[in-house]
Amino acid sequence: MKKIIFILSALFFAASIAAAEELQDFSVTSKISEDGASRIAITVSVDKFLGDVRVAVPYEISRLTAESNFGKISCTAEQKVYGSDVVCPLPAGATGSFKVEFDVYDLVKSSDGKFFFKQEVSVPLDSKKFSFRAVLPDGMGITNGEDFFPKDVEKSSDGRNIFLTWSKDDVKAGETFSAQVAFESLNLSNGGPSGFLIAGAVGIPLALLAGFFYFRFYKKQSLTPNIVLPVLKQDEKKVVEGLVRHGSGVNQKLIVSESGYSKAKVSKVIKSLAERGIVRFERQGRSNRIYWSEEFKKKTEGK
């Protein structure tokens, strides 16, 4: 019943603003938590906008915050039968973007060690662009490699989390989008590299995580490119390729020369990799030598 009321309310509100302003972009990101509140971020871009932006949310929300790049903004939550309305009054002629964030409970159900996420979103006004991104919890992978809906999704990863992104152009006011995904831990449980197979099946191999488990059980003793490279950004790949090609202890100058990046760029990438526990570096003269981190080696060698 709440769902029906939510859809009817969204359509009624859309019909009541026939001459309403158009949004440039309406984007939703849900950082999923398998236990507790999932953090939802809604980013809205406007151009010379007049009026308020009211977003119908079919859930009870908490910890509402708001910020914008065009000045101070104050958004409020109004309780409704179907959940909440987030109302953001904008200054006359507002141009730029604003973001609201809030927690939502009960978006995830669990059964037999698996988790099931479902969220519905209503677009408040006509929007040139729309996107919805679901961020799986750390160490989680999609069950069976394809348990998500809708199927026309872009899958990616930063080496820690899997991202599922749906996008669409020219969305009409009141249009409702529903996303679903089933996920589970990538930890091995039945004596085989299930996490590795799951990640490979979805086309976004979390090789960094899966490699840890795979090598722990199968006792590989060397580091290979396919453990690390698939989960890295392009600039990180070039740096790690140098380490793979020349071996642990490579001079940073050589990586700079081969990558085509500036010294500052390579230093920034190495620092990021070091913070994630993949590499370490030691000062030598006016340059650095780059090594696989001891933590990373122990995990990949199953020690």
Domain boundaries defined on the chain: 2-185, 194-301
Compute the distance between CA of residue 231 and CA of residue 237 in angstroms, rounded to an integer: 9
Compute the distance between CA of residue 298 and CA of residue 130 in angstroms, rounded to an integer: 43
- Contact 99/66 with Cβ under 8 angstroms? yes
- 280 three-class SS: strand
Of 207, 213, 144, 151, residue with least CA distance to 179: 151
Compute the distance between CA of residue 245 and CA of residue 277 in angstroms, rounded to an integer: 19
Q: What are phi and psi of 116, to 5 degrees?
A: -130, 115
What pLDDT was estimated at residue 45? Answer: 95
Chain centre to alpha carbon of residue 145 = 17
What pLDDT was estimated at residue 218? Answer: 38
Of 86, 148, 140, residue with least CA distance to 113: 140
Q: What are phi and psi of 29, to 5 degrees?
A: -125, 125
What pLDDT was estimated at residue 79? Answer: 93
Angstrom CA distances, 196 to 187, 207, 208, 210, stand at: 9, 7, 10, 5
Structure-token pair, residue 120: 């519905």
What pLDDT was estimated at residue 41? Answer: 96
Of 280, 287, 302, residue with least CA distance to 254: 287
Q: How many residues does the chain have?
A: 303
In the chain, the N- to C-terminal Cα span, in Å, equals 55
- Burial (Cβ within 10 Å: 0-12, 13-18, ≥19) of residue 78: exposed
Please give the helix or strand (H or E) that residue 6 lies within, else none: helix 2-15
What pLDDT was estimated at residue 16? Answer: 43
Of 252, 197, 205, 204, residue with least CA distance to 224: 205
| Tens digits of residue pLDDT in 226-244 | 455 555 677 888 888 888 7
| Tens digits of residue pLDDT in 146-178 | 799 999 999 988 778 899 999 999 999 999 999
What pLDDT was estimated at residue 159? Answer: 74
What pLDDT was estimated at residue 214? Answer: 39
Chain centre to alpha carbon of residue 256 = 30
Compute the distance between CA of residue 244 and CA of residue 228 in angstroms, rounded to an integer: 10
What pLDDT was estimated at residue 220? Answer: 38
Chain centre to alpha carbon of residue 207 = 17
Do the first three CATH levels of 2-185 and 194-301 match, i.e. the same topology? no
Is this structure's pTM higher than 0.85?
no
What pLDDT was estimated at residue 38? Answer: 93
What pLDDT was estimated at residue 20? Answer: 57
Compute the distance between CA of residue 164 and CA of residue 52 in angstroms, rounded to an integer: 30
What pLDDT was estimated at residue 129? Answer: 95
Could you state, in chain order, the average pLDDT of each consecutive group of 10 residues for the chain (303 residues)? 48 46 94 87 94 93 94 93 94 94 92 92 95 92 87 86 94 94 73 39 44 41 48 77 81 85 87 84 86 72 52
CATH architecture, range 194-301? Orthogonal Bundle (1.10)
Compute the distance between CA of residue 189 and CA of residue 97 in angstroms, rounded to an integer: 45
Structure-token pair, residue 238: 């070039």
Q: Which residues share a beta bridge with 157? A: 162
- Contact 105/36 with Cβ under 8 angstroms? yes
Compute the distance between CA of residue 190 and CA of residue 182 in angstroms, rounded to an integer: 19
- Kindly give the residue spans of alpha helices, DSSP state H, lying in 52-203: 194-201
- CATH, domain 2-185, list 1.10.3470, 1.20.58, 2.60.40, 2.30.30: 2.60.40
What pLDDT was estimated at residue 101? Answer: 96
Q: What are phi and psi of 254, to 5 degrees?
A: -70, -40
